[in-house]
Structure 1
Amino acid sequence: MSYEVIALLMFSGMMLLLLTGQRVFAVIGFVGALAALLLWGDGGVEMSFTSIMKVMKWYPLLTLPLFVFMGYMLAESHIADDLYKMFHVWMGPLRGGLAVGTIFMMVIISAINGLSVAGMAVGATIALPELLRRGYDKTMVTGVIQAGSTLGILVPPSVVLVLYGMIARQPVGNLWMAGVFPGLLMAALFILYIVIRCWLQPELGPPLSKEERVRYSLTEKFILLRAGLVPLAIFLSMTGLFLTGVTSLVESSAVGAVTSILAALMRGRLTWAILHQTTRKTLAISCMFFWIITAALCFGAVFDGLGAVKSVERLFLGDLGLEPWQVLVLMQLTFLALGVFLDDTAMLVIVAPLFIPLAAALGFDLVWYGVLYTITCQIAYLTPPFGYNLFLMRAMAPPEVTLPDIYRSIVPFVGIMLLTLLIIGVFPEIATWLPNYYYSK
């Protein structure tokens, strides 16, 4: 049996097992370990063992639980509520101002958490009821919250980019810096869409009434501004120490975790119940990612041994005669197709052993390619039938927001994400300039 057929059997077997509803890391790890044993006998055991040891020895991976802890601490202690109240007061007088403020809030929540689910939880439980009560169009604001929450996997400290960096063997610091400008670009396009649409159709996002505007004095507004800027101050202190070289990446994540505890303590909101809940959620998320990384490394080691990447490279460039950019387009279309059925981690684990080495062989910058992958993941979070954020919104939205409303709401935002993907693809410097500039100094 040829190596190409073996690789095809591994992929097809993995997809069939995923359809049974088994956990992603269990399927990937099982297929990888079984293939190693069948191909190399007792020596194949070393692949699984080596994958575990790689994960345990990869020091930067410590950033993952620390950043997740920081985000959950700020969410559980309701410091994020203060953030939304600040945007409510300052942005409310504008047409669509509360929706714009929600995007700003999502950017900051993303910058202190790195996960989509945290922004989704804050937006659906805090922002959505308030927006609906103020007369905002339910379809538009549902899309705003779903799309805004996806910024958490692009804006640093993105947990998805940590996972990509581990599998692609790329520095996490470079990947995080590469996600800054693309994330801000996407947020700016979201805001531009909201402003233009609410300007053309004021009934979609009415401003606060005059009575509500004068309810808060200027002094009270500045007090709210100070309270809402606590999460931003935490993020700036953490990243500032890292960028100036005072702390390493892991040390910066520890600074973020400690300052989030201090912020909750200073606001009188640190309780044993919150600490227990935060720790439990952090442990659950971290263990899931560690198992996924271990399974992906094992699966990838088998693929390296089979030489599957060389076979695909020969097929595209030799047999089909495609140009490198044409191969890149095909890879992104594959990601988009998989995103209809799989989440971001499943997509990465399934195709990373094939696509990442292929992208490197074609001469593409793997840091830039990581940003393209992450944007594609954002689209996957919103595309039916298995969009992760669609299910979360359906579970947390009030009864008046129906499933058709949720599906319709994401159409313009998916279009904006595709536009961002195209812009970053055509102008890679948007992603690569900051890490290249910083690390060249």
Structure 2
Amino acid sequence: MTGIILFVVAFILLMIGIPVAFAFGASAIFAALIDPNIGLDVFGLLPYRIYGIMQNFTLMAVPLFIFMGFILEKSKIAENMLESIGELFGPIRGGLAIAIIIVGAVLAASTGIVGASVVMMTIISLPIMLKHGYSPSLASGVIAASGTLGQLIPPSIVLIILGAVMNISVGDLFKAAIIPGIIIVGLYMLYVLIIAFIKPDIAPLIKTDKNYKQILINAIKSLIAPFVLIAIVLGSIFAGFATPTESAAIGALGAIILTIFYRTFSFELLRYASVETVKITAMIFMILIGATAFSLVFNESGAGDIVTEFFTDSISNKYIFIAITMILIFILGFFIDFIEITFIVIPILLPIVEEFDIDPLWFALLIAINLQTSFLTPPFGFSLFYLKGAAGKLIKTTDLYKGVIPFIIIQIIALLIILFYPNLVYLLVK
């Protein structure tokens, strides 16, 4: 009963606009007060839990990768990529949308900041796409979906947090996520090419008078800087030279060096990136503290044991458990962010995962793909907010919702592919 009260109170507080960290913390205090078997004494364990979190070396990578993303956001590197690759693929029907997907994938592998990627691509690309006759729904759907690739493609903040919560090697998670990431990017491109072929009017050709050889050279030049950074960050992890945290530090320094090289460095840029990093990091760790209090009361109430017994005794089939879990996370993604889902739901599921002897690496990738979908699902998908905020009156909300639905379906297809062909996760993991 206490477990149900926890979730109901947390949901009510979230719906009335209470910040997530305080909603989970307050629901934990309320449930502890009304349950005579728990009481407020249970929170005596909270400082030890928080201290354990502070000692987690892996979580140190989170602010460093966030900092790297904000530095690159203001460095003009992404803008150059969008312009040059857009020109490169313009002569192909749907080519501008393909270019945005490619840039989204490159940004994901070099920044991992969804909000920054979506806003930047909206400001630069959306007016151009609409000017050249792209339908508002396809244009907004492509930008929103491409911006969310940073949730799965390494170095992903989602994978780092999942690794910390599930006690899995982040390096292995990064390796395992590459193939699913490529599959999703490929499915995005395939959809754009098919829809552009079926309905030529919604994704027309873009003609240019420029020399195509020069366009190709410019496109290659624009990709050099991000690929160098990707090679340094991910290469050092995959080769075993550095841990994810150490490579994050290298990446942050590398991003600053690139801004100096491209002559976009300034102390105002450094200040902006630092302040924004502190804001987002503080939000993440406040949610983590609130979620820790929530989990503490949930486990002390015995609700965790009840959930485990229900799945292992009443259902006793791991695939039904996985299906229920994926549907639950998908539905939760309509209302709450991936951080809350990771910190609240995943610890509850871990004992059941162990009981069913499910490989945590494969399960983590299924969750990561599912969490990526949560950024696109109306009404509270964060990518939708970012895009609509940056686009203003350029597009209608209804066009935006219509545009993301095919990409949500693609995400579900990718999830099913990894579910039925788990070996794809282990192709790059030794």
Cα distance, 1:165 vs structure 2: 2.0
- 1:171 to 1:43, Cα distance in 2 relative to 1, 3 A: farther
* Aligned residue number for residue 378 of structure 2: 384
Aligned to 1:266: 261
Contact 2:149 2:181 in 1 (8 A): yes
1:9 aligns with 2:12: no
Once the two structures are superposed, what CA deviation does each residue of 1:198-218 show, in whole Å capped at 9, x if it has no partner?
A: 122222222221xx1x41463
- Distance in 2, matches of 1:33 and 1:7, equals 12
Match of 2:388 in 1: 394
Question: For the Cα contact (< 8 Å) 2:87–2:215, is it kept in 1?
Answer: no
Q: Is the alpha carbon distance of 1:203 and 1:101 closer, same or farther for their aligned partners in structure 2, counting shifts above 3 Å?
A: same
Contact 1:33 1:47 (C-alpha < 8 Å) held by counterparts: no
Look up the match of 2:14: 18
Q: Which amino acid aligns with 2:234?
A: T
Aligned twin of 1:229: 224
Q: Deviations over 1:154-190 (max 9, x none)?
A: 1111111222222222222222222211111111000
- The answer on 1:421 being equivalent to 2:415 is yes
CA distance in 1, matches of 2:306, 2:118: 41
Instruction: Name 2:298's counterpart in structure 1.
Output: 303
**Amino acid in the other structure paired with 2:279:** A
- Offset of 1:34 from its aligned partner? 5.5
Corresponding letter in the other structure for 1:341: F
Distance 1:170 1:357 in 2: 14
Once the 2 structures are TM-superposed, how far is the Cα of residue 283 of structure 1 from its aligned partner?
Answer: 0.9
> Structure 2: how far apart are the matches of 1:32 and 1:428?
37
Unpaired runs of at least 5, structure 2? none
CA contact (8 A) 1:55 1:290 kept: no
1:35-434 equivalences in 2 (<5 Å): 35=31, 39-40=37-38, 43-209=41-207, 212=208, 214-216=209-211, 218-219=213-214, 221-318=216-313, 320-434=314-428
C-alpha separation in 1, matches of 2:279 and 2:51: 21
Aligned-partner Cα distance in 1 for 2:155–2:393:
34
Partner deviation per Cα, 1:379-427 (whole Å, 9 max, x = no partner): 2222222222222222111524111111111111111111111111111
Structure 2 letter corresponding to 1:73: I
Identify if the C-alpha distance between structure 1 residues 420 and 300 changes in structure 2 by more than 3 Å, giving closer, same or farther: same
Give the TM-score of the pair, scaled to structure 1: 0.91
Find the aligned partners of 1:432 and 1:238 in 2 and give their Cα distance.
21
Q: What is the distance in 1 between the residues matched to 2:343 and 2:64?
A: 23
- AA at the equivalent of 1:7: G
**306-315 or 366-375: bigger deviation:** 306-315
- 8 Å CA contact retained: 2:171, 2:237: no
Q: C-alpha separation between the residues in 1 aligned to 2:312 and 2:128? A: 54
Q: Structure 1, residues 266-300: CA drift from partner, whole Å, max 9, x if none?
A: 11100122111111111111111122223323332
Aligned residues: 428
Instruction: Note the C-alpha offset of 1:40.
Output: 4.8
Q: What is the CA distance between 1:349 and its match in structure 2?
A: 3.1
Contact in 2 for aligned 1:18/1:24 (Cα 8 Å):
yes
> d(CA) in 1 for partners of 2:2 and 2:168?
28
19, 23, 29: which one aligns with 1:27? 23
TM-superposition CA deviations, 1:60-108 (whole Å, max 9, x none): 1111111111111011122110111221122112111111010000001
Cα distance 1:370–1:414, how it changes in 2: closer, same or farther (>3 A)? same
The residue type equivalent to 1:68 in the other structure is: I
In 2: Cα distance, 1:301 partner to 1:360 partner: 20
Aligned equivalents of 2:93 and 2:99: distance in 1?
Answer: 11
Following the alignment from structure 2 to structure 1, what is the Cα–Cα distance between the partners of residues 365 and 261?
Answer: 37
Select between 35-44 and 233-242 the one with higher mean Cα deviation. 35-44
On the 8 A contact 1:167/1:297 being kept in 2, the answer is no
Q: What letter matches 1:202 in structure 2?
A: P
Distance 1:144 1:348 in 2: 26
Structure 1 unmatched runs, 5+: none
Which range moves more in the overlay, 196-205 or 90-99?
A: 196-205
Deviates more, 1:176-185 or 1:289-298: 289-298
Tell me how far 1:265 sits from its aligned partner: 0.6
C-alpha separation between the residues in 2 aligned to 1:339 and 1:241? 33
Aligned partners of 1:120 and 1:146 also within 8 Å: yes
Q: Deviations over 1:293-348 (max 9, x none)?
A: 23323332333334433311222332x34422112111111112222222222223
Q: 1:114 to 1:167 in 2, by over 3 A?
A: same
SS at match of 1:399: helix
Give the Å deviation of 1:193.
Answer: 0.6
Q: Which runs of 4+ in 1 moved over 6 A?
A: none
Give, in angstroms, the shift of residue 140 of structure 1.
0.7
1:73/1:261 contact within 8 Å kept: yes
CA–CA distance in 1 between the matches of 2:212 and 2:143?
A: 29
Structure 2 length as normaliser, TM-score? 0.94
Distance in 1, Cα, partners of 2:140 & 2:226: 24
Identity among equivalent pairs (%): 29
Secondary structure of 1:397's aligned partner: helix
Contact 2:149 2:372 in 1 (8 A): yes
Q: Take 2:19 and 2:132, find their aligned partners in 1: how far apart are those partners?
A: 41
Measure how far apart 1:130 and its partner are.
Answer: 1.6
CA RMSD of superposed structures (Å): 2.0
The separation in 1 between residues aligned to 2:350 and 2:211, in whole angstroms, is 53
Q: Which amino acid aligns with 2:271?
A: H
